[in-house]
Chain A
């Protein structure tokens, strides 16, 4: 291509057409085991409360949100591998109601869904995923996280719940680290 043509085309595009500045409305943020994670996925997960965003030191909220979505994708792929028992419709409806309560009006929910390219049927799947994931984590880690009698003696009965919760979090965290090690994760710059 001749340089002159290039410059004219560039000038036309930049100045010749009365367009407002372009804004990135979506992009691929990461590829996890062949599955795309887009900006709209992350935003939808935050808006719908599917992830718990807790930025670590030196980490931005966006980075923490992406990490949480990657973790959720990895965990769900493990959960699907074991073919979970389908949650009841009532349980899914209850979870959906929880999600809806995050929005002031039904219109606000619809706006968030449209802005992120998902519809009610996908939202229902997200709710079902949440329940499956919670059931899997309970089944796999809750019993293993219970403190021993010795530990209760040392920490006191009042701290039983706290101890169990801390250990459960640690076990899940170690499991996710292992999932991350095994998976091909490509976070785009």
Chain B
């Protein structure tokens, strides 16, 4: 490295002296010091040995600037012999890394930081310094410091590329109130004083306009709550006495007290509230009243009243505005007959499925209108571009409040237009054959304008993906005189094809460039494709390392059709910490004093702490430590109670995308866990390694190896000491491989309202791979979610099947001669059912085989089916009704549909920021007598987070 002393002078006509001469040396200097960074030389277009061209110089300047690291690029040239020595002088771009406030601020620094970062970003351009000052000046004035002096400067940091924005503030004293006048509202002095008290205003008090705005808004809200729906409250401050004081005018316009009255035919309170939203909207303007009138009439028409009226009157009295709605339902109308006429090209049978108006049903002209629109659309798709459908409704005399309506839909089909030819004009880069394959409109097909427009869009996309960003496509259909034939012409203006010159990645501080470059679909020399942009953006965003990804194109001076692609990333926080606490509650199985199982409601505080470190070593690698602990009641077999930290998890997970440069994502996880089940507690420590490969947006496969050691603790079921597997292996080492396929088309993973989730999982544990016990276990699950009939109600349906079988093994117990055959799964691996996510009429694990003391012992077969209606009620609140069925079977051979047990129930959902909070009450469809002779409890209550399935 050496120091380059710039002795350059500005060349005028001298450039011509260098042009065309061979370049003998190229240097790059950063802040006066020569650099030999190969990445920089990659973007230098002026190569040693080539004749000097200003075009190449200009291109190089653009590339260097596009790197985003330099604020200035200067190029100087010097003659050496017959050649030219070129030097690019770069000046580091100063990025503001820190915003520092100093001086006497008067306002909280956090507020100032927030304002500047929200408005100008965390790293504002030094060019924007005057705007930052102006924004702060406005804030200080509004907060009562009109005399604040604010100055900002950019101070270079230790690294030449970084700088601090130092904002010096002398807030000065806050202006005080020297006069306050309350205008409007209640005129008496006492009333004005009360207003000032409510607004916390007094002569001599300090003025803070923003805080006062908040208090005024609350006061206005109170007035609206009292029926003054048009209340308007505002402040008008005037700074006086050299900005030392504020003369404040508070304007209160309460407007009239609004009373709403309904006369005529009755509406329910709910209908009134929904259809006349005056209280909700805090307004009584004419538009809202008109909307309310039409809303009532529409609502009544939907109910079959064919001539409803909901006229309103505004009666203004002394300070009171009375709005009277006079509701007249009119006669109830029923459809007497429905005729369709004028259709010759399409039969009435073909049209029938499009019509929702039914004979004998309430008449609704909105439904008739929608039917007409559907018929019209149906015809247009078949080439009848000028089709008209007119609904003619003939109403008979009302008898006993009921009138019959004869509905007739008169269809004027018009001529059918068929595409005669499809031609393309103006295309030179893409042949007409390729374009023809892209469009769906073909000769002989009926002409349907939306379809032809969609074809034009398809052609645009084709061009955009081939690097023609300026593409315009005009659809020009020419109808024959009889309108029976259409010549379809796509007029194309291609514009220039744009080629990718360099791909420059900017803004990555910690992240390795290669990690980002792997996701880049653009290639130098290839057309600038829209699809490549979309894929690149999606790929980089999916890394999860950046809070912002921008892709822009830098035009190169003097080169018409080349662009540098500049990918600018803003890195997200590397370390994130999460923690939280809560209370879990529900019906749990406990040991009764006589040693049998009983149920009681238990509540346990729990908390979690999580720390994640992303972007390890600049690669897309993450390390996560998750811990969770519950302070729950001990539930020992001797009936011992007391509380303890008897449920906990600590798990360390390392994740890496595209592991070993493959398309798979890898995860290695290890940890300890202790948990309570009704019949036993267990402690498990182990590790697993998972590889996941996403085959498409919705389909993923994964393979996993798991090794863990599980110890049963506090065994409450006597059956366990009798079952060979649990007696011989109270502590068991399991080593297993598993694989799963998941297809997930759900609209949302937390609260889906459409789509489905299907998964198949198979796990094999075998002694050959180090397991003490061998088994095969499979689990198939499918869930479907859909809106019912276009309503906001979501139907959720699910089914789960679990099948397991142990590999036989003979174990000789100490002191025994005959070996014992073991072919069951250990207790911790068997299936259980009952609880908030399976069959909700039962407490956790209480569905299925029980021992003599009523403790669940689990089984090798599992069937669960669920159906649930999720009904939004208001805001974040929703209701559900559900039916669940399922059971656990000792062995797969025992599985019988007839032995499923059912439960139904209702639940409440509250959509919180952390997911739906759920309360479900399940009721058993049949209560049975337990092995100890007691009857099952009829219900189970569950409180938890997230949907049941």
Q: Which of A36-44, A90-98, A158-166, A172-180 contacts B (4 or more CB under 8 A)?
A: A36-44
CA distance A12 to B5 in the complex (A): 11
With A27-B75, A40-B557 already in contact, the answer to whether A21 and B552 are too (CB < 8 A) is: no
Can you name the residue of chain A whose Cβ is closest to the Cβ of B18?
Answer: A25
With A36-B65, A118-B558 already in contact, the answer to whether A24 and B2 are too (CB < 8 A) is: no
* A20 → B minimal CB distance (Å): 4
With A6-B3, A118-B55 already in contact, the answer to whether A41 and B87 are too (CB < 8 A) is: no
CA distance A115 to B12 in the complex (A): 10
Task: Check A56 for interface membership: any CB of B closer than 8 A.
Answer: no
CA distance A110 to B79 in the complex (A): 23
Per the 8 Å Cβ criterion, residues 48-70 of B in contact with A are 53-58, 61-62, 65
With A20-B80, A26-B61 already in contact, the answer to whether A184 and B5 are too (CB < 8 A) is: no
Q: What are 13 pairs between A and B in contact, CB < 8 Å? A: A9-B2, A18-B80, A23-B8, A23-B10, A24-B9, A26-B74, A28-B61, A34-B554, A38-B58, A117-B58, A121-B560, A186-B125, A186-B127
With A23-B14, A27-B72, A186-B127 already in contact, the answer to whether A125 and B560 are too (CB < 8 A) is: yes
Task: Check A116 for interface membership: any CB of B closer than 8 A.
Answer: yes
Task: Check A122 for interface membership: any CB of B closer than 8 A.
Answer: yes
A14 and B74 within 8 A (CB): no
Contact with A along B180-212 (1 / 0, CB 8 A): 000000000000000000000000000000000
Q: List, in ascending order, chain A residues with CB within 8 A of B62's CB.
A: 36
* B432 → A minimal CB distance (Å): 23
CA distance A9 to B18 in the complex (A): 25
Q: List, in ascending order, chain A residues with CB within 8 A of B55's CB.
A: 117-119
Task: Check A35 for interface membership: any CB of B closer than 8 A.
Answer: yes
Q: List, in ascending order, chain B residues with CB within 8 A of A17's CB.
A: 80
Task: Check B349 for interface membership: any CB of A closer than 8 A.
Answer: no
Q: List, in ascending order, chain A residues with CB within 8 A of B56's CB.
A: 117
CA distance A46 to B13 in the complex (A): 13
Task: Check A22 for interface membership: any CB of B closer than 8 A.
Answer: yes
Q: List, in ascending order, chain A residues with CB within 8 A of B9's CB.
A: 21, 23-24
Task: Check A188 for interface membership: any CB of B closer than 8 A.
Answer: yes
B54 and A10 within 8 A (CB): no
- With beta carbons under 8 angstroms apart, the residue of A12, A19, A35, A117 that contacts B78 is A19
Task: Check A143 for interface membership: any CB of B closer than 8 A.
Answer: no
The residue among A5, A31, A40 with the most chain B CB atoms within 10 A of its own CB is A40
B6 and A116 within 8 A (CB): no
With A23-B9, A24-B75 already in contact, the answer to whether A111 and B16 are too (CB < 8 A) is: yes
CA distance A22 to B929 in the complex (A): 101
Majority DSSP secondary structure for residues of A touching B: mixed
Per the 8 Å Cβ criterion, residues 779-808 of B in contact with A are none
B61 and A24 within 8 A (CB): no
Per the 8 Å Cβ criterion, residues 659-701 of B in contact with A are none
Can you name the residue of chain A whose Cβ is closest to the Cβ of B65?
Answer: A36
Task: Check A135 for interface membership: any CB of B closer than 8 A.
Answer: no
Task: Check B19 for interface membership: any CB of A closer than 8 A.
Answer: yes
Q: List, in ascending order, chain B residues with CB within 8 A of A38's CB.
A: 58, 61, 557
CA distance A116 to B15 in the complex (A): 9
Can you name the residue of chain A whose Cβ is closest to the Cβ of B7?
Answer: A21
CA distance A34 to B127 in the complex (A): 12
CA distance A1 to B2 in the complex (A): 9
CA distance A34 to B560 in the complex (A): 17
Q: List, in ascending order, chain B residues with CB within 8 A of A35's CB.
A: 555
The size class of the interface chain B forms with chain A is 35 or more
CA distance A19 to B72 in the complex (A): 25
Per the 8 Å Cβ criterion, residues 160-184 of B in contact with A are none
The size class of the interface chain A forms with chain B is 35 or more
Task: Check B412 for interface membership: any CB of A closer than 8 A.
Answer: no
Task: Check B547 for interface membership: any CB of A closer than 8 A.
Answer: no
CA distance A139 to B198 in the complex (A): 57
Majority DSSP secondary structure for residues of B touching A: mixed
With A117-B58, A118-B558, A122-B558 already in contact, the answer to whether A24 and B80 are too (CB < 8 A) is: no
A36 and B78 within 8 A (CB): no
Task: Check B128 for interface membership: any CB of A closer than 8 A.
Answer: yes
Task: Check B39 for interface membership: any CB of A closer than 8 A.
Answer: no
Per the 8 Å Cβ criterion, residues 327-381 of B in contact with A are none
Q: List, in ascending order, chain B residues with CB within 8 A of A28's CB.
A: 61, 65, 72-74
Task: Check A155 for interface membership: any CB of B closer than 8 A.
Answer: no
CA distance A114 to B73 in the complex (A): 20
With A27-B72, A186-B127 already in contact, the answer to whether A116 and B78 are too (CB < 8 A) is: no
* A181 → B minimal CB distance (Å): 10
Task: Check B765 for interface membership: any CB of A closer than 8 A.
Answer: no
- With beta carbons under 8 angstroms apart, the residue of B16, B75, B78 that contacts A21 is B78
With A13-B2, A184-B125 already in contact, the answer to whether A40 and B58 are too (CB < 8 A) is: yes
Q: A9-B2, A115-B13, A115-B15 are in contact. List 13 more A-B contacts (CB 8 A).
A: A18-B80, A21-B7, A23-B8, A24-B9, A24-B76, A27-B75, A28-B73, A34-B554, A35-B555, A36-B62, A40-B557, A114-B16, A117-B56
Question: Across chains A and B, which 5 residue pairs bring their CB atoms closest together, nearest first?
Answer: A9-B2, A117-B54, A23-B11, A27-B74, A22-B78
* B381 → A minimal CB distance (Å): 32
Can you name the residue of chain B whose Cβ is closest to the Cβ of A188?
Answer: B72
CA distance A20 to B4 in the complex (A): 15
Per the 8 Å Cβ criterion, residues 97-120 of A in contact with B are 111, 114-119
B54 and A114 within 8 A (CB): yes
Contact with A along B25-66 (1 / 0, CB 8 A): 000000000000000000000000000011111100110010
CA distance A43 to B123 in the complex (A): 34
Q: List, in ascending order, chain A residues with CB within 8 A of B77's CB.
A: 22-23, 25
Task: Check B403 for interface membership: any CB of A closer than 8 A.
Answer: no
Task: Check B1 for interface membership: any CB of A closer than 8 A.
Answer: yes
The residue among B2, B6, B127, B557 with the most chain A CB atoms within 10 A of its own CB is B557
Can you name the residue of chain B whose Cβ is closest to the Cβ of A27?
Answer: B74
* A185 → B minimal CB distance (Å): 8
With A13-B4, A186-B127 already in contact, the answer to whether A20 and B58 are too (CB < 8 A) is: no
Q: List, in ascending order, chain B residues with CB within 8 A of A115's CB.
A: 13, 15-16, 19, 54
* A143 → B minimal CB distance (Å): 27
Q: List, in ascending order, chain A residues with CB within 8 A of B597's CB.
A: none
B15 and A34 within 8 A (CB): no
With A20-B79, A23-B76 already in contact, the answer to whether A36 and B54 are too (CB < 8 A) is: no
Task: Check B420 for interface membership: any CB of A closer than 8 A.
Answer: no
* A28 → B minimal CB distance (Å): 5
Can you name the residue of chain A whose Cβ is closest to the Cβ of B59?
Answer: A117
Task: Check B71 for interface membership: any CB of A closer than 8 A.
Answer: yes
Q: List, in ascending order, chain B residues with CB within 8 A of A21's CB.
A: 7-9, 78
B71 and A188 within 8 A (CB): yes
- With beta carbons under 8 angstroms apart, the residue of A10, A22, A86 that contacts B85 is A22
* A74 → B minimal CB distance (Å): 15
B74 and A36 within 8 A (CB): no
Q: List, in ascending order, chain A residues with CB within 8 A of B78's CB.
A: 19-23
